Structure 1
Amino acid sequence: MPPTALARQHNDPSFPSVWEELRWRGLVQVSTDEEALAAALAGGPITAYCGFDPTAPSLHLGHLTQLLVLRRLQLAGHRPLGLVGGSTGLIGDPRPSSERVLHTKELVADWVAAVRTQVERFLDFEGPAAAEMVDNLDWTAPLSAIDFLRDIGKHYRIGTMLKKDAVAARLNSEAGISYTEFSYQILQGYDFLELYRSRGCVLQTGGSDQWGNLTSGIDLIRRAEGAAVHAIGTPLITDSEGRKFSKSEGTAVWLDPAQTSPYAFFQFWLNTSDADVVSRLKVFTFLTREEIEDLERTSTERPGAREAQRRLAWEVTALVHGDAAADAARDASAALFGTGDLASIDEGTLEAALAELPRAAGAVGDRLDVLLVASGLAKSNSDARRAAAQGGVSVNNRRVDDEDAVLTEADLLHGRFAVLRRGKRNLAAVVPG
C-alpha cells in the first residue's frame, strides 16, 4: 500500500471494539455466534485469514472489501494472514451457472504472484501484529490422494455438501457439476484446518456468497480437532440492478491500473448514487464515524455539491493507487468537467480520461464543425457551425466562436489530443487518426 495512505489509517475512537466498528460499517451480514466472536476479538490478539483465488491477473472491487476488513482487524491488534490460492485457483470455486475453465499451472502461478503483490500492499508486515502471506499449494501439493481422502474427506458428509448454494444450483442446471468443482469446499475447509493447526488461526472472512465454503472449514475443525472457530461473511457490493461487481458478472472494477485506470477507478466512485455513498464511505474508507456523519449531513443538506462522493472517490483511489494518482484523477475530472487547465494533466491520466468519452479521429487542419459531427456532438455541419457562432463550442476549455475554425498545432495536448465541448456537459475527444 502507498505509505501515505497506510499512515492515514487508524483505529476509530468512536468504537469500544473492532467488532462494534465492523458492525457499524455494515461489514457483517452473517457470522458465527456473535457473542463468542465479539469476545474472541476483545479478548486479545487472534489470527484471522482471508483467501484470494488467482482466477485473473488482478483482484477487483469485491476483493477490496476483504482486504480492508483484514486491515481493520490488524489495526485493532489482530494478526492477518493473506492466503493466495495456488491450489484452489487450479480447481475453481463453482459458479451457480456453469463450469469454470481450468487454466494452466504456469498461468495460475503467474497470477498467484500478481495477486500476492496486490494483497501485500494493504497489510503491514512489521510489528507485533505483523501480517503473513501464505499459499495453499504449499500444503496441498505434497498431499497424496489417499491421504486426502483418509485424513480430510472422511470428515465430510455428502448430504451437507449437496446443500451448499452453488452446488445445489449447479445440480439443478443442465451443466451439472464436476467432481473437481464439487471438491472445492473440501479444499477450502482444509485451508482453515491447516492454518488453525500451524498458526492458531481462528477466524476466516469472506463474502456472504462464500458462506458455504466458510462453514466448511468450521465444520472440519470441529470434527477433526474438537475446536470452535469463527467466520464473518460480508455483504456483497452490488450495482443499482443488484449485480455484484465481479469478473464472472462482467462488472469487475479492477485494482490493477493496467485494467482499470486510476482515472476510471476515481470516476466509478465519483458516480456513486446518493443512496449508496454513506455505506460506501463506511466500507471502503478509514474515515472516522464523525467524519462520515458530517459528510452524510452535507449530502442531505446540499446533495448537488456531491461532497461525499468527491471525498469517497479520492480516499479509495488513494488507498489503491496512492495520493499522487488520486490527485491526478481528481484534477483531470475537474478540468474535463469544469474550467481547469487540461494542459496541466499528465499524458497517461489524460489518455485514460479521454478513453471514457466519445471520440473522433482528427489532425491539425481539420475543421472543427466536421470533428463535432464525427464525435456526435453535432447532428450536422450546419448545426456545429451554428453552435460555434453562438459561443457554445470550446476546445480544451477555450471558447471558439469562429464557425470556420480548424484544429491547430497549439490545440493538441501532449501533441496528440484535444477536448471538444458543446454546452456545459457534452464532451468528446479528438485523437490521432
Structure 2
Amino acid sequence: MTTAEIITIGTEIILGQIVDTNAQYIAKSLTEKGIRILFQTSVNDNKELLKSALKIARDRVSLIVTTGGLGPTANDLTREAVSELFGIPLISDKEACIRIQKYLESHHGNMLDGYKKQALIPEGALVICNENGTATGFVLQYDNKAIVCLPGVPREMHSMLNKYLEVYDSRHKSDEGYAVMRNLHTIGISELSGEDVVRNYLKGKKQVKGMTLAHDGIVTINILAAAPKRESAAKILDKAEQDIRMKLGHAVFGVGDETLEHAVAMLLKKCNKTIAVAESCTGGLVSDKLTNIPGISDYFLEGSVAYSNRAKVDALNVPGELIKKHGAVSPGVAKAMAEGIKKRASANIGVGITGIAGPSGATTGKPVGLVYIAIAGDNFSEVKECLFKGSRVDVKIFSANTALNMIRLKLLNICQNL
C-alpha cells in the first residue's frame, strides 16, 4: 500500500493565522484512493526548513504531497527546495510558459518577468496544469518515490490534486485497493459510549476501521472501509453505517456535511411545523444556526434575543414576579420564555433558553454554565437543566446544540405519530 506524508507550507499556518483546510482536503482525497496517510507536517516559509521536512518525508513514505510555496510572491520556495534536495536542475516548461502567457494576457495584458519563474520545473518532472492561476504544479518521480508539489490557493490546489489522482489511478489500478470513508454525527451520547459501540462492532472486521471525535457536544464517528474494488468498499461502508445506526438509534442526526440544524430543518418540513426561539445566554446563536439553512423561512418564524429581565417581561410576557422570586436563570422562566415566543409568533413550537455563560454572573446555588432550555407546544412542554463546562463561547455553543437536539427529538416523536 502507498504511504504518504502531507506537507503544508506557510508561515501563516505555523502562526495560527489561518486554518489549514488544504491538509484536510488532501488527506480525505488520498484516503479515498486507498493511500495510507502516515504524517502531516507544516513548515515555515523557509527554504532550508522545507528541504529538511522533504528529506525526512523522503526517508519514511513513498508519496509526498506539498501544498504552498508555489506562486508569484517571494515565498515561491518549493521548486528550488526540491531541485536542490534531489540535485535536479530546474528547466522552463514550454507548455507551461504558453499557458501562463495566455492567462496573464486575459488578466494583466502581458507576460510579466516575475511570472516567468512559474514555468520552471525539475527536469523530467510531470507538469500539473493550473487552470485557475499561474503557479505550475509538478510530480517528480525519484527512487520509487513520488513528490507532488501543488500551490496553496485552495481553488487551484483542489483541481490540480484531482488531476494528479487521475494519473495515480491509471498507474495503480491493478495493485491498489480502494478506501472510502464516512462521518456519522451523533449527539446525546458520550465519546466513551460512541467508542464502545465502534470497538464492539469492529471486532473481527478487518476491512472496516473506525474512530470517534468529540466537539461541541457532538460525537462524530469516522468509518473507513477498504476493498480491492470501489464498489465493494462502498457496500461494506453502507453496511457498517447501517449496523452502527441500529445500535445508536436516535442519537444519530446526520452524515458527512449534514449539521444538527439541517436535521431540525428537515424534520420541521416533514412534520409541517413552525418554530420560534427566545434566547438569553445564547445571544441568538440558535436562530443564527437555523437561518443558515436555505428555505428555513417557511418554518422558522421568529427569533428574539431577550437578554435583559425587562426584555423578557416586555417582549415575551414573562411574569415579573416569576423572575423576582426565582431569578432569570430558572426552569420557570425558561418555560415562560418558550410559551411567550410561541404565542407571539403563532408558532407550533416555542423554545426558551436562559443561563449563566460566565465567567461572571454566578450566584449561590447557580454556578457558571447552568442553563435551562425549554420547548413548548400546544399539548406539551418540557424543561432541561444543563451544567456545561468551558469558556463563555463553549457554554453558548453547547446550549445551542442541546436546544436543537431537544427540538429534533420532539419532532421525531411528532412525525412518528402523524
Q: TM-score, normalised by structure 2?
A: 0.34
**Structure with greater Cα Rg:** 2
Q: Write 1 or 2 for the structure with the bigger share of helix.
A: 1
Question: Structure 1 length as normaliser, TM-score?
Answer: 0.33
More strand by share: 2
Structure with the greater relative contact order (CA < 8 A, sep ≥ 6): 1 or 2? 1
